[in-house]
Amino acid sequence: MSHKPRLTPMNDNVTLLSVTGSQYLSKKIATAYGQELGELEVARFNDGEMQPIIKQSVRGEYVFIIGSTFQPHDNLMEMLLTIDAARRASAGYICCVMPYFGYARQDRKDRPRVPISAKLIANLLVEAGADRIMTLDLHADQIQGFFDIPVDHLKSQAIYIPYFDTQDMSNVTFASPDMGGVKRARDYAKYYERNVVICDKYRKRAGEIAGMTLIGDVKGADVILVDDLVDTAGTLCRAADLIMERGAKSVRAIATHPILSGNAYEKIEKSALETLIVCDAVPLKQISPKIKVLSSAALFAKGIKKTHDNESISALFVG
């Protein structure tokens, strides 16, 4: 598959569009950017088929389509159809702003006869007509290599570090809830010059933890668990409980994408977690006294502006 880039935009205008499921965040991004969302209507046939209709001219313009592809699948399908609509309307440049990139956990063949779904989604986005992808905290950095177009992989450190800078970090130890997240925890530990501990888990099958051990000392520490997403919350809550059993003073967690399926909210509220801090890339299904939400809107608004102005986004990274 090869991507055929279109001509440079014929004008300097920017249109911000939003898929239906991400309106709650897109409106905040548009406000932070300084203009209103463009008009996008989604018509539906009786059988559920959707037809996005861009209600204004985008000919030759920079078009930024904002939408996370969390479940249901309508969010992904609407994104693909809107890209196609913008391409066929002669948009000059199409950037998909995807705060949460769905299917990112399926980035390799970890058993026989399974798809590499993240690669398939990347192919679909490029084939639909996307010229650029902007996303936040991919489950695995190498997913950027699945695309043959530029990918701006924004990091949530730019959201969390300013928040932590207002807190007392002198007694903090950072922790990874599994081996795969060690780099994320280490990035924070390096920035604050603190220690890192690791929770090593073993699964019998997907979604079921058989055992977990703690590598490192947390006695008397205020521990912050670092993860990119939380789904069933089983690993995160098990890690928090284990850390407190090993003598920690307190335990909090940050997890960029709050998928929170099944009885995740109940698990969190019953766990040793003091607070779970998340971003708004995925909307919460319910309010929880233990969950605090920080907005990613300003970060994406800056990313959109720098993309439009053809400037480096490296200034958006912290640490």
Helix and strand tally (H, E) in the chain?
A: 8, 14
Cα 178 from Cα 5, distance rounded (Å): 40
Cα 219 from Cα 105, distance rounded (Å): 33
74 in Cβ contact with 30 (< 8 Å): no
- Whether 201 is catalytic: yes
Kindly state the tokens that stand for 6: 């279109």
Cis bond upstream, residue 112 (ω within 30): no
Kindly state the tokens that stand for 73: 């699948």
Collapsed DSSP state (helix, strand, coil) of residue 16:
strand
Kindly state the tokens that stand for 105: 């956990």
CA dihedral defined by 294, 157, 213, 112, rounded to 10 degrees? 100
Cα 118 from Cα 120, distance rounded (Å): 5
Could you tell me which of 231, 76, 99 has the C-alpha nearest to residue 154? Answer: 99
Cα 252 from Cα 263, distance rounded (Å): 19
Catalytic residue, from 201, 249, 270, 306: name it. 201
The residues assigned a catalytic role are 201
